[in-house]
Amino acid sequence: MPYITTADGTQIYYTDLGEGRPVILSHGWPLSSDAWQVELKLLADNGYRAIAHDRRGHGRSSQPWNGNDMDTYAADLAALVDALELDDLSLIGHSTGGGEVVRFAAQHGNGRVRKVITAGAVPPVMVQSASNPEGTPIEVFDGIRAGVLADRSQFYLDLTETFFGANRPGAQVSQGAKYDFWRQGMLVGLKGAYDCIKAFSETDFTEDLRALDVPILIAHGDDDQIVPIAAAAEKSIELVSKGTLKVYAGAPHGIYGDYQRELGQDILAFLAE
């Protein structure tokens, strides 16, 4: 399996498919690059070199004790880009991965980034505060931490209900999709999963968004129960200079079903512009 090794010795697993202009995809918590299998094939089938990595602590990458923070995640992505000698690069990030690609583009892009796409992404900042009253209360994230520590297997299964919007009337979410979420989640080391909760919920990406000088497509479902749109995409679009906001009516946090099919076509259209 293909790996690169970062400066602190962490091995980062990645998938590399197709030929053409490179596109890197960054996954959400607590998943892995497997979450992007459909999009990897879609991009490779349409003439792109599609690359997706497992974040440190996740999937098939190393599970180091340290470095489970957004600065290090972005530095790991920079190490991957350097190792593969990528230029004229587009980035796609879902949820936590949206924060990772925004930070990478702002702080490590060095003229190498062409476009950015986020979906259900955590920027500008998730946690509620006096300056971010639309955010999610810290008690919610404390509850996630407690759930992961107490019984992460059951917690991940339970999380699929709101992740995919399976708790909504008329929702049709397969057991297979839920089990695949659980499978990917169970590959995450406990320390990495626990630390990443702070990384995705408390990191402030405001200045990263302001620093972006490339086009960004900000995609978000208006029924996202994990990263509510009012505290995320609707604020991010006001901070970027070359942004396009695409709202998906009734779409959940998880990229699935009709939302996945529509987003895939929008990704191709945006990359081709």
- In this predicted structure, what is the pLDDT of residue 161? 98
Residue 198 structural domain: 3-272
Q: Are 90 and 198 in contact (CB under 8 A)?
A: no
Whether 153 sits among the annotated catalytic residues: the reply is no
Residues contacting 125, CB < 8 A, separation 6+:
132, 135, 202, 203, 204, 205, 206, 231
Distance CA 183, CA 174 (A): 14
Distance CA 67, CA 153 (A): 24
What CATH number has the domain bearing residue 49? 3.40.50.1820
Among the listed residues 32, 61, 95, 201, the single catalytic one is: 95
Among the listed residues 27, 53, 58, 253, the single catalytic one is: 253
Whether 53 sits among the annotated catalytic residues: the reply is no
Among the listed residues 90, 220, 224, 236, the single catalytic one is: 224
- In this predicted structure, what is the pLDDT of residue 110? 85
Q: Note down pLDDT in tens along the chain; length 273 residues.
A: 699 999 999 999 999 999 999 999 999 999 999 999 999 999 999 999 999 999 999 999 999 999 999 999 999 999 999 999 999 999 999 999 999 999 999 999 989 999 999 999 999 999 999 999 999 999 999 999 999 999 999 999 999 999 999 999 999 999 999 999 999 999 999 999 999 999 999 999 999 999 999 999 999 999 999 999 999 999 999 999 999 999 999 999 999 999 999 999 999 999 999
Task: State the total domains in the chain.
Answer: 1
Tokens of 97: 């991965």
Radius of gyration of the chain (CA): 17
State how far the alpha carbon of 8 is from the alpha carbons of 1, 81, 82, 150, in Å: 20, 16, 15, 30
Encode 118-149: b = buried (16+ Cβ within 10 Å), e = exposed. Answer: bbbbbbbbbbbeeebeebbeeeebeebeebbe
Whether 95 sits among the annotated catalytic residues: the reply is yes
- In this predicted structure, what is the pLDDT of residue 198? 98
| Type of residue numbered 60 | R
pTM recorded for the entire structure: 0.98
- In this predicted structure, what is the pLDDT of residue 1? 66
Tokens of 103: 């930070």
